[in-house]
Amino acid sequence: MSEYPFIEQEDPDIFRALVGEDKRQAEGLELIPSENYVSRAVKEAMASSLTNKYSEGYPGKRYYGGQEFTDAVESLAVERAKKLFGAAFANVQPLGGANANIATYFALLEPGDTVLGMDLSHGGHLTHGHPVTYLTKIFNFVRYKMKNIETGELDYDDMRRVAKKVKPKIVLAGFSAYPRELDYAKFADIARETGAVSVMDIAHIAGLIAGNAAKNPFEYGFDVMTTTTHKTLRGPRGGMVLTRESADIAKKIDKAVFPGFQGGPHMHQIAAKAVSFAEALRPSFKKYAERIIANTKAMENVFRKHGVRMITGGSDNHLILLDVWTSFGISGREAELLLDQAGITLNKNAIADDTRKPMDPSGIRFGTPAMTTRGMGEVESAQVAQIMIDVLTKRTSALAAKEEITRLALAHPIPDSFIHP
């Protein structure tokens, strides 16, 4: 029977697109490091009747009636999130990671206040103060960069010097294209010394932190963490803000999320978050997080052996950034296209201090969270890295590589459950 019997009958155009996307995901290899495959249980929550419900407010303090079950769902999501990350408070209503960051800025800053955050070209995120965002019309973003692109080391002494000069209200850590661990204690010290709140955007590595495969910034004194829920954490698309201990900060964040920026929370999405948090609280999730890193290392070893230039020289987490322009003489856009034809989906990405344009940069970014969910291990990861090199050096045609990738993908079907295999 079709997975979508009603859509099949009632909306054939959308049905075709859904079936096409399912096939694309099943037969191809997803290496975009911010993507993953959710369980069937998470999908069931997303497709539940909770999508019909308005629930402005927070559990026990709603503006509409009929909240008996939504209150239970949101309270469970909050309690599970707190447990996963060692937080005293959690707001699970942000619709995405950008919303979580924006609400956090408005909770903690006045217009004109300064945020010290990582430069986009060195791995930071658009919402960390890139000039194309409207945030920069309201707040003053001062950016820091890597000291050494070959190792990924940040210049914490310079960061402290700049912080003392610009007096940020937020010292912001976090990234969407940086493959190394940060020195959280140094960030937290700089924030304390300058009277700023320390905020870490853990969107990319939330699953690694939850699975104890990466350090937890709260253990190093960070005040706030913002995140998405759909990357390494393997939940539905969405965002969240966690506060380590300050009730005052948590109250301001709640107010900024609702009514500051959002209306009714998406309760079906919050139920799906709760389901995925329960999955991440299981011991098996720790193994998953460890395997993500082992698989990245297996890919890294192949690239190193072949002298391929990796920004920061390798990876401590789930993602790798390759300089394809120097290594293969092709641009990031060409590399993305070639690999796409081979059934490998990843994204072109600027490398630090890139001289090429953002739509056709020098690098590609990819990672192992999704392929690890499919049960692939270090052998398969090394195999995929080798196929990538063969395609990028044009030793193998994209078409021939596609056959191999499809075989590999079909041998590792996307699982329905992480609890009952």
315 near ligand DSN, rule: CB under 6 A: no
DSSP state of 309: -
Q: How far is Cα 204 from Cα 332, in angstroms, rounded to an integer?
A: 21
Instruction: Give the pairing type, strands 170-174 and 197-201.
Output: parallel
- Which residues within the stretch 132-161 sit at the binding site for ligand DSN (CB under 6 A)? none
Number of residues forming the site for ligand DSN (CB under 6 A): 4
Other Cβ atoms within 10 Å of 141 Cβ, number: 22
Q: How far is Cα 115 from Cα 306, in angstroms, rounded to an integer?
A: 40
Compare residues 57 and 97 and give the one whose CB is closer to ligand DSN.
97
Q: How far is CA 253 from CA 64, 104, 114, 155, 307, in A?
A: 21, 6, 18, 30, 46
34 near ligand DSN, rule: CB under 6 A: yes
Compare residues 57 and 123 and give the one whose CB is closer to ligand DSN.
123
372 near ligand DSN, rule: CB under 6 A: no
For the record, the structure tokens of 113 come out as 């206040």
Peptide bond connecting 259 to the previous residue in cis, omega within 30 degrees of 0:
yes
**Catalytic pick among 8, 27, 54, 334:** 54
381 near ligand DSN, rule: CB under 6 A: no
156 is annotated as an active-site residue: no
226 near ligand DSN, rule: CB under 6 A: no
244 is annotated as an active-site residue: no
176 near ligand DSN, rule: CB under 6 A: yes
**Catalytic pick among 43, 147, 192, 237:** 237
| Angle 407-410-413 from CA coordinates, rounded to 5° | 150
Q: How far is Cα 331 from Cα 337, in angstroms, rounded to an integer?
A: 10
134 is annotated as an active-site residue: no
54 is annotated as an active-site residue: yes
**Catalytic pick among 53, 80, 180, 231:** 231
228 is annotated as an active-site residue: yes
For the record, the structure tokens of 390 come out as 């063969």
254 is annotated as an active-site residue: no
194 near ligand DSN, rule: CB under 6 A: no
Name residue 218's amino acid.
F
- Which residues within the stretch 66-125 sit at the binding site for ligand DSN (CB under 6 A)? 97, 125
Q: Which residues are catalytic?
A: 54, 56, 201, 228, 231, 237
Q: Which residues bind ligand DSN (CB under 6 A)?
A: 34, 97, 125, 176
